[in-house]
Chains A and B, each alone.
Chain A
Amino acid sequence: MTIQRRTLLGATLAAPAVLPAGGAMAQARGPIRIAMAGPLTGANATFGAQMREGVTQAVTDLNAAGGVLGQQLAMETGDDACDPRQAVSVANQLAGRQVRVVVGHYCSGSSIPASKVYTEEGVLQISPASTNPRYTDEGSWNTFRTCGRDDQQGAVAGKYIAENYRGKRVAVLHDNSAYGKGLADETKKTMNAAGLTETIYAAYTPGERDYNAVVSRLKAANIDVIYLGGYHTEAGLIIRQAKEQGMNCTLIGGDALTTNEFWQISGAAGEGCMMTFPSDPRKRPQAAEVVARFKARNVDPEGFALYSYAAAQIWAAAAAKANTVDPRKVADAMKASGPWQTVLGPISFDRKGDITVPDFVFYVWKNGSYAEMS
């Protein structure tokens, strides 16, 4: 009994002496921390999973190639559930864990408040999916994205609708989120400038299941085309309920519809629905080798996986170039040097941290899968 107690006591006394030493070691030589932050739970969890797969693969590949500046990378994950408040607390947690770079978040509504925390704490942020212009427009040194912007995406959609549905009755709907409203407004702006005015412009409440009242309203206005700024769950329900009520209309949306979950929700009603998304990065020749590595793990790098992979890739290359992982210096290198060779092709950033060559094209849903529109 006595011996046991003494050993215990000894161990307790010894522990504090060991810990600081270990801590200092980790600072100097330990792995460099890279984080993925996005919705791993909640309605948009499917996109968070895509992002996590992308970063996981990138970290594995970078480590296999000897790490960054001779140091291995360790991956952290943060779940914001697309909730702006949770995003801020996740951002604080990650900053507290000495993360150097965050690949994330997914929802623009999360990325924007989280970016404030990262700016203050000196963490680099590269979003593979947040398309709201405000994210980079606010002029922080640390915000980047590997995807396009809503004004670019909205311009493509608005132009297409104005050209192809001249004389038709168009409804523009949005969910009042930073992403949805931003996208809907940009589309509306381009469409109006091209001479087509929408019949209905309205917001719906996300998170509900019954949109029949809105749908009947569209039906009464004889709407031919719905442009929807919002996420796939509501888009799927709205088109399903529209077809149930006997409407014969087309739904056009943004990049958030690029998931198989959209079809699971909409069912056959999703046939012919369209969305803007960058041309499929999985099909580009420079991606073939990386895609094969994903497939070897039984993962299909759909949606945002390769955008997340590219984000980590660019950061690693910029860190090597700057010869440091100091976020501010890496950020400068990312903007100054380039183009960076990535799985998406060569990417350069402008002064704000946006990619210089966005490439939105139209995709269409057919028989439960989506393909680039010819």
Chain B
Amino acid sequence: MAYALQQLINGVALGMIYGLIAVGYTMVYGIIGMINFAHGDIFMVGAFISLISFVLIAMGGWTAGPGAILLVLLVSMAVTALYGWSVERVAYRPLRGSFRLAPLISAIGMSIVLQNYVQVAQGARVKPIESLVTGSVELWHGNGFAVSISTMQAMIIVVTLLVLAIFTWLVTRTSLGRAMRACEQDRKMAGLLGIDTDRTISITFVIGAALASVAGTMYLLRYGVIDFYIGFLAGVKAFTAAVLGGIGSLPGAVLGGLLIGLIETFWSAYFSVQYKDVATFAILVITLIFMPTGLLGRAEVEKV
């Protein structure tokens, strides 16, 4: 029981990071019906910008504390959002009217560009950072097994929920969110009614990138090691999460992320660790056979 609880905590903390990245995939898909394959690499860029900011702050003599982390989080969100905006402006907007596959290929290209850019600019070796958030709290002691949650795990869960709450409010309660949802339903009609669709799409990319950068900062703080290639695996997992939850659905992405994190963790906990990815993707396939639109996705109504 204590063991299962510990694994639950591990799984939720991991799933939250997947969920944060998955939101970016799902938002972009929702609004322009395209899989932004460069999103995993935007996450990686976010992690690198956080690392650089931490180093700069340390050089400025500010010892790490909650204030420093908050500052890094904000700087990283701002700069990564700029990357997200530029990617959309450079690689996707010129192809808006083109056939469906064009932006997809362009996205794959963008992913390779970002990876190689970071590899060249920052080097190919892993970049470590000291643990800034240490300590853990023992929650419960049962059957000789101490269940503990580290401060970092708690921070990931709290920050993720907070950030998601803010962005959910943004999408459901503000005029910007209304414009986004309108574009999602019918871009041409929204345009006719005076919504600047290009601007709305840009903002969607900016929000997705900002969320990915939060995930990047959390990832950096949690695991302490990043390299130019982390975006690939995390991107694949988050994309799977978005599909599992129902691509296009915001709560679906978070749910999918949590599920993937939990499946991976619990499979490793009770069965063979080697087969955890097999298990994750087998569950994805089975889900899609019975629910082709994912867990919370809505079937798309083709208007004739």
List residues of chain A with CB under 8 Å of any chain B CB. Answer: 40-43, 45-46, 176, 202-205, 207-210, 212-214, 216-217, 219-220, 222, 233, 236-237, 240, 244-246, 261, 264-265, 267
Chain A nearest CB: distance from B122 CB in Å? 12
| Residue B11 is within 8 A (CB to CB) of chain A in the complex | yes
Q: Is B227 an interface residue (CB 8 A)?
A: yes
Which of B3, B128, B148, B233 interacts with A246 by CB under 8 Å?
A: B148
Q: Is there contact, CB below 8 Å, between A214 and B273?
A: yes
- CB of A216 within 8 A of CB of B225, answer no
For B124, the closest partner residue in chain A by CB is A41
Say which one of B192-200, B261-269, B284-292 lies at the interface with A. Answer: B261-269
Known A-B contacts A213-B11, A265-B128; the reply to A208 vs B224 at CB < 8 A is no
Contact A245 B273 (CB under 8 A): no
The chain A residue sitting closest to B127, CB to CB, is A264
Q: Which of B3, B124, B144, B223 contacts A40 (CB 8 A)?
A: B124
Contact of A245 among B119, B126, B148, B264 (CB under 8 A): B148
Residue of chain B at shortest CB distance from A264: B128
B126 touches A43 (CB 8 A): yes
Please report the C-alpha to C-alpha distance between residue A40 and residue B119 in the assembled complex, in whole angstroms: 12
Q: Roughly how many angstroms separate A237 CA and B219 CA in the complex, as a whole number?
A: 13
The residue among A45, A216, A265 with the most chain B CB atoms within 10 A of its own CB is A216
A46, B124: Cα distance in complex, Å: 9
| B225 and A236 within 8 A (CB) | yes
What 1/0 flags go to B104-142 for Cβ under 8 Å of A?
A: 000000000000000100001110101100001010000
- Chain A residue at smallest Cβ distance from B6: A216
Report if A46-B125 is in contact (Cβ < 8 Å); known contacts: A208-B233, A217-B268: yes
B1-22 at interface with A (beta carbon < 8 Å): 3, 6-7, 10-11, 13-14
Q: How far is the CA of A141 from the CA of B198 in the complex (A)?
A: 65
Does B230 interact with chain A (Cβ within 8 Å)? Answer: yes
Other contacts beyond A41-B119, A236-B225: 20, CB < 8 A: A42-B124, A42-B229, A204-B273, A205-B273, A205-B276, A209-B222, A209-B223, A209-B230, A210-B223, A212-B265, A213-B276, A216-B3, A216-B269, A220-B145, A237-B224, A237-B225, A245-B6, A245-B148, A261-B126, A265-B128
- Docked complex Cα distance between A176 and B136 (Å): 32
- Chain B residue, CB-CB nearest to A41: B124
The reply to whether the CB of B150 lies closer than 8 angstroms to some CB of chain A is yes
Secondary structure call for the B interface: helix
Q: Is B283 an interface residue (CB 8 A)?
A: no
Determine the chain A residues whose CB is within 8 A of the CB of B175 once the complex forms: none
Interface centre among B14, B119, B233, B273 (most CB of A within 10 A): B273
Q: Is the beta-carbon distance between B7 and A233 smaller than 8 angstroms? A: no
Once A and B bind, how many residue pairs between them come within 8 Å at the CB atom?
Answer: 94
Contact between A233 and B265 (Cβ–Cβ < 8 Å)? no
Q: Closest residue to A236 on the B side, CB-wise?
A: B225
Q: Are the C-beta atoms of A213 and B10 separated by less than 8 Å?
A: yes
Residue of chain B at shortest CB distance from A40: B124
User: Which of B's residues lie within 8 Å of A, judged by CB?
Assistant: 3, 6-7, 10-11, 13-14, 119, 124-126, 128, 130-131, 136, 138, 144-146, 148, 150, 152, 219, 222-225, 227, 229-230, 233, 264-266, 268-269, 272-274, 276-277
Q: Contact check, B223 vs A237: say whether CB atoms are below 8 A apart.
A: yes
Return chain B residues, CB-CB under 8 Å to A264: 128
Q: Chain A contacts of B119 at CB under 8 A?
A: 41
Partner of B130, one of A41, A208, A267: A267
Q: Which residue in chain A gives the minimum CB-CB distance to B143?
A: A220
Chain A residues with Cβ below 8 Å from B136 are: 244-246
A45 to B131, CA, bound (A): 23
13 inter-chain pairs at a CB distance below 8 angstroms, sorted by A residue, are A42-B229, A45-B124, A203-B273, A210-B222, A213-B10, A213-B264, A216-B3, A216-B6, A236-B225, A244-B152, A245-B150, A246-B148, A261-B128
Tell me the bound Cα distance from A347 to B299 in angstroms. Answer: 70
Complex CA gap A267/B131 in Å reads 8
Residues from chain A with a CB closer than 8 A to the CB of B268 are 213-214, 217
Q: Is the CB of A265 within 8 A of B273?
A: no
Contact among A45, A210, A237 with B14 in the assembled complex (CB-CB below 8 Å): A210
Complex: A240 Cα to B148 Cα, angstroms? 15
A365 to B17, CA, bound (A): 32
A89 CA to B131 CA, complexed, in Å: 39
Q: A246 contacts which chain B residues (CB < 8 A)?
A: 136, 138, 146, 148
Q: Is the CB of B10 within 8 A of A212?
A: yes
Task: Say yes or no: B145 contacts A219, CB within 8 Å.
Answer: yes
Q: Please state if A233 and B126 are interface contacts (CB–CB under 8 Å).
A: yes
Alpha-carbon separation in the docked complex, A240 to B133 (Å): 13
Distance between B1 CB and nearest chain A CB, rounded to angstroms: 11
Q: Which residues of A contact B7 (CB under 8 A)?
A: 213, 216
Asked if residues B148 and A261 are in contact (CB atoms below 8 Å), the reply is no
Q: Write out the residue numbers on chain B whose beta carbons fall within 8 Å of the beta carbon of A237.
A: 223-225
